[in-house]
Amino acid sequence: MLEIELAPDSVTSKLEIGVGLSTHPDPDLAIGEAATRAGHRLGTAVADFALIVTAGGGARDALGVVREALGHVPIAGGATTALLTDQGTLREGAAVITVANAEGAASGVAATAGRHVGEAAQAAARLVLAGWPFRARYPRGLAFAFARQGATDEAQAFLGAWREFMGPKLRTICTLLGSPTVYGRGAATPLVSVACVEAPYASGIGYTDALPLDGVAPAPETLVHGAADAMLTAVKRLEGRPARLALVVSTAARHAALGSATDQEWAAMRSQVDERTPVIGWLAPHVSGYGRGVQPSSAPGALLAVALGDAPKSSEKA
């Protein structure tokens, strides 16, 4: 099992995050190992939800395995192309990210089916909003969605339908999976799976892509620079609060275009956050998102950097 060190808690922090990573080739065993590690990182805190991402194949019973390690906890996630870690790109294994809500925050997890991604997105939004009876008119926070791939524009289809219900203030990342495996409880064969947290967390998103200029693909050095800027942008959105977790969601095509520069890109992004802050990510055929400064896009070679931090102190809210 690989080790991931977490940034130490600040004195007033109530946001608890556990991250576990396993390289076991069996997805179910990998999830079990990673969930156990993530639960250990939480200490006495109880996870409100777990985000499950596997590489190398889909698990047979992700929910059951996670609950053996963490108890009765809802899950979301899916089987992706590969995992991105400080130890390099992993083509097999699992990552489990657990979140224990800060006081005043709410979480929402849903897995839904439908005739198409847009319909499933609306169903997921209704379920999540039903669990937030005291929410603001437009929820604030951060959401991660996973959808089975049917067409290259389905990430945009999800985001468009999701935003109709959630409004413009819930920053959302959508991963379009090449695998049919979507993790979650609800629909027998989920089309989408989503996990989100509402305020008071601080969060930020940075975006870059690999659009060709005059028909010529950008050089690896340009891609590396763009990824570093994306992570820096995400961290700046925290407005001085330290990042408790940083995530990278990238397309497999971008990773391939980098060639031998993949380690340089990771190092460039890693340098934008504290060395003790956990940074983890995954590759997929297509990714998209929306939030402050980020609009849904089907541009090739997209990369989204995400930073999650503590809620502002009472004195900062005033």
From the CB of residue 299, how many other CB atoms can be counted at a distance below 10 Å? 13
pLDDT reported for residue 5: 45
Among candidates 308, 245, 253, which has minimal Cα distance to 283?
253
Question: Which pLDDT score is estimated for 3?
Answer: 46
**Considering the entire predicted model, what is its pTM?**
0.91
Query: pLDDT at position 6, please?
Result: 46
Residue 81, domain member (yes or no): no
Distance (Å, rounded) from C-alpha 60 to C-alpha 82? 18
Q: Is 29 left (phi over 0), alpha (psi -120 to 50) or beta?
A: alpha
Mean pLDDT by 10 residues, the chain (318 residues): 45 74 97 97 91 95 96 96 96 96 83 92 94 77 90 81 91 92 85 89 92 80 96 94 94 93 97 95 94 83 93 52
What is the token pair recorded at 125?
Answer: 């939004």
- Residue 268 within a domain: yes
Looking at residue 81, its pLDDT comes to 95
* Amino acid 182: pLDDT: 94
222 belongs to a structural domain: yes
Strand residue runs (E) in the chain:
16-22, 49-55, 75-80, 82-85, 88-90, 93-100, 107-112, 141-148, 170-177, 182-183, 192-198, 202-208, 243-251, 279-284, 286-290, 303-309
pLDDT tens-digit readout, 233-281: 999 999 888 899 999 999 999 999 999 999 999 999 999 999 999 999 9
Asked, for residue 192, whether it belongs to a domain, the answer is: no
Domain boundaries, position 253: 202-318
The residue type found at 111 is A
- 206, part of any domain: yes
Task: Answer yes or no: is 173 within a domain.
Answer: no
Question: 31 in helix, strand or coil?
Answer: helix
**SS3 (DSSP) at 117:** helix
Residue 193 lies in a domain: no
For the chain, how many helices (H) and strands (E)?
8, 16
| Sheet containing 202-208: order of strands | 88-90, 82-85, 279-284, 243-251, 303-309, 202-208
> Whole-angstrom Cα distance, residue 122 to residue 84?
30
What is the tally of structural domains in the chain?
1
Helix (H, G, I), strand (E, B) or coil at 231: helix
Residue 236, domain CATH: 3.30.1330.40
